[in-house]
Chains A and B, each alone.
Chain A
Amino acid sequence: MKHLIYSLILVVIGALVGIYLPWYAMGVAFGLLAFVLNMPLKSSFLTGFIAGFVLWVVAALWLDLQHPSTLPSRMAQVFPLKGNVFALFVLTGVLGGLFSGIWTWAGARLRQK
């Protein structure tokens, strides 16, 4: 349960940071949060991964619903996903998740002397 609350905090902070700062600021923010909140090391990667995955997928979905266009299916051909938009969302989530997970893990690990 605690992990989910951590993830939720990360999602909210991640969204704010994403709106106002460069894309990589999210990772740094997650690392800081993991350090400050002293997140358990073991689950840190997963906490961060879930937060990053959920945040990027939800934000992408929200944009796509606000502005329906052929762009996602085109991008799913620019990246060899055979035009599969679902796969594009998954790829977005995995990239966001991986990036967030590593930073959260890094922050948590730094706290463990």
Chain B
Amino acid sequence: MKIIKSAFPLVIALFLTYAMNQSWGTLPPLGKLFSPFHGFWMNAESPESGEPTEEILQIAGLHQPVQVVYDEMGVPHVFAQDDHDLYLAQGYLTAKDRLWQMEFQTHFAGGRISEIVGEKGIASDQFQRRMGSVYGAEKSFEGMKEDPAAKMALEAYSDGVNAYIGSLSDRQLPLEYKLLNYRPEPWTPIKSALFLKNMSFVLASGTDDLKMTNILRKYGREVAEDLFPNYPFQESPIIPVGSPVDFKPVPIPAGPADFTGLGSSMSTPEKDPNIGSNNWAVAGNKTVSGLPILANDPHLTLSLPSIWYQMQLVAPGVNVYGSTMPGTPNVIIGFNKNVAWGVTNVGSDVLDWYQVKFKDASKKEYWHDGKWKKTTMRIETFKIKGKKDMVDTIFFTHHGPVVYLSHEKPFRSNIPVGHALRWIAHEKSQELTTFYQLNRAKNYADYAKALTYYSAPAQNFVFASNEGDIALWVNGKFPLKSKLQGKYLLDGTDAAADWQGFIPQAHNPHVKNPVRGFVSSANQFSVDPSYPYYLGWQYAPSERGRRINERLAVMEKITMDSLRGLQNDNFNIRARELLPLLFAQVKSPNAAQSKALAALKSWNLVNSPESVGATIFENWVLTLQDCLWSDEFSADEKVPMSRPSMDRTIQLIKSEPTARWWDDTKTPTKESMSDIVMKSLQANVDTLVKQHGPQGPEWAWYKHKQTGVRHLIPGMDALSRLNIPIGGGGTIVNAATTKTGPSWRLIVELSKEGKPKAYGVYPGGQSGNPGSSHYDDLIDTWAKGELKPLLYLTSPDEKSNRLRKKITLSK
């Protein structure tokens, strides 16, 4: 009895120790986290100041020492003596700044988030794996390994990441590991493949086939084709109209029989449609320097740590600077002494759904081309934190995975149940070879050759060289389709509905040194309808592309600074077209509406941060689309439908004022176009007053839009930067929206002497550590529309007052 009594406090102490060493739901392990010898206090890093510091780090596996100098932005300039050491150092140094992010993003891509966050991650994880992310990465990895240079880079990179992981004690772990209470696992080369495949998820997984089939079922083909046309009313395609065609097209497949699928689905939230990008290159005859200038700003979800990490990589045969993606070797967007390149996404249709007819409940056989064929099965095991493992079976037809069976609830509303997925992301591919070669490209021929290895996600690769060439290839692997094949759900039993091979890469849309003196892309239609192949029916809205092209057409004596101006252009071309049409329909507005209209009439059509007119206009576009389309389209959430585009809406206002769509079918009265415009104006003003109070400075565009750069852990506001004062918008060249925007801005002025002048910035910072001054130090520069000069060194001993730190990596 006595012993029990004296041991009682010990039991409490042991229990308390256990409790403080554990996470409880979202509460981190308090003891481990707050102990100043182990927890978050250890993660503070002071800004460098004064004399540059020098350090030597031992890393196993290096052939020779590697010199690394860091500039004041925290960009490492890496000087290695061979490729192997270069990529090993890239892996090591990237992990040093971004380890948690690299692992978290690949866990997400591989459907393994529930290993970190427990049960709440399961639906997302299952969706990732059912879409075939791991399957696709495995196939892609096979392809990458076929190129010895890419294989070596992948393996050396992986060794570098592991050298860093191996050097970490518990107390040195990045903050997020401490908050979420887990440890990094070893890196493997296939994780790089997972990361690259995830870019297809981000950029090439959009799919409206289900919604289009729902529309087809409700309204028939004529209405569907009328309201969802296959080329916009207003467009300025990427490949200028009339560009010469330098190939003889292969025959187009006959295409499937007409088919109206079962459609339908259930509803859940959807992904952001605002992911797009701008790039362009102007020829020397339009620039002050007489040599081409290239500009690129890929728009992605804005996150902390940033998706980009700047680096300069130097070894015999290569000296490249640009932004890398943590998790993969090489520079993705950048320049070397002779050339510069950039990318924007191509909205071609590379994802199709096939309605599957299984023989019976065992799903072992499916009907195709007049016979029963065998499915294959893939078993996926999910390790769930705090729970037992979950095992899931994915059925594959020859098309690809059946993402959801008929009785299952899809993770996203645009994913049909009972359909097999045919997707370019499942193809064997060699993207790494493309980047490896682009990093070393000397001229147009090298660039064109590098692109032949690239599959997905398809990109508009813009290019400029110091030989004076500018070019743009709409590049990737594009399925060879009959016209409109895959606009709607396809019949999985019809062999003619299968993809019939691919468009030969040399036939991909491209243009070199066009007469107009510039090339550009902003995710709009790649080509006009005269292009011999069908690529897709729906691309990003044309406004950004049209604005960029109208500006570049008139700009002369171009400099880096005038292109910086264009990257930050906030002019609202949509407002220029739409507002006069709307004003003409206004009748008897009330006082608040009159005040809003007055603000719109005096507005300079620029989406500047402080603009009130921009807020009223942008919100009006939303309420107008609601008032016009929500009665007929997507009212029932079990049968989701797309809405006609804004391009089609403007066409309707301009030329179909009495179309049946103007009537609100939910009311007994018959509405006219003017009634709907007034109704939308009322809804617009009412919602703005409700959100921000009476019209005034609180209606400023940036306050309404709320652009934020958010930490990768959802809801982690303390590690995010919110409410950033920046203008722009989704259809504005400066494409900053609430959650997406220019994720990296680059401008490169090439030089004959091999001394390119480059400027860049991204909304984040080089360090992934929230305790470092480099965590978010570039955001303000980015928001102001300014760029940082990029330091392009030729030797580690080159003098510069911007150098802060020198590290020698030695074996």
Binding site for B on A (CB under 8 A): 15, 18-19, 22-24, 26-27, 31, 56, 59-60, 62-64, 66-72, 74-75, 77-78, 91-92, 95-96, 98-99, 102-103, 105-106, 109-110, 112-113
Contacts and interface: CB of A to CB of B under 8 A. Distances in A.
B9 A59 contact: no
A56 B34 contact: yes
Contact of B771 (A62, A69, A91): A69
A92 B30 CA distance: 9
Main secondary structure of the interface of B (DSSP, over half): helix
B32 A68 contact: no
A27 B773 CA distance: 34
Contact of B34 (A64, A70, A74, A96): A96
A59 B37 contact: yes
Contact of B770 (A18, A64, A74): A74
Given A103-B13, A109-B9, A71 B771 contact: yes
Contact of B10 (A24, A63, A66, A110): A110
Nearest to B179: A78
A27 B17 CA distance: 8
Contacts of A95: 20, 30-31, 34
Interface stretch (B39-47, B373-381, B420-428): B39-47
Contacts of A98: 16
Contacts of A31: 10, 13
Interface in B1-58: 2, 6-10, 12-13, 16-17, 20-21, 30-32, 34-46
Nearest to B40: A75
Contacts of B20: 24, 95, 99
A56 to B, nearest CB: 6
CB-based closest 3 A-B pairs: A77-B718, A18-B37, A71-B771
B272 interface: no
B392 interface: no
Contacts of B771: 67, 69-71, 74
A59 B40 contact: no
Contacts of B7: 110
A64 B38 contact: no
B18 to A, nearest CB: 9
Nearest to A111: B6
A78 B718 contact: yes
Contact of B41 (A15, A59, A78, A105): A59
B21 A24 contact: yes
Contacts of A113: 2, 6
A110 B16 contact: no
A96 B17 CA distance: 11
B636 to A, nearest CB: 41
Given A56-B36, A95-B34, A78 B13 contact: no
B772 interface: yes
B773 A22 contact: no
B582 interface: no
Q: Which of A23, A26, A91, A110 lies at the interface centre, i.e. has the most chain B CB atoms within 10 A of its CB?
A: A23
Contacts of B179: 78
A83 B348 CA distance: 46
B717 interface: yes
Interface in B78-95: none
Given A68-B46, A112-B6, 18 more contacts: A18-B36, A23-B39, A24-B17, A24-B31, A26-B35, A27-B16, A63-B42, A64-B44, A70-B770, A71-B175, A74-B719, A91-B34, A95-B20, A99-B17, A102-B13, A105-B13, A109-B8, A113-B6
Contacts of A71: 40-41, 43-44, 175, 770-771
B556 interface: no
Contacts of A74: 718-719, 770-771
A86 to B, nearest CB: 15
Contact of B9 (A62, A69, A75, A102): A102
A27 B7 CA distance: 15
Contacts of B561: none
B515 interface: no
Contacts of B2: 113
17 contacts: A15-B37, A18-B38, A22-B170, A23-B31, A23-B38, A27-B13, A56-B35, A56-B36, A62-B36, A66-B46, A67-B45, A68-B44, A71-B44, A78-B179, A91-B34, A96-B35, A103-B13
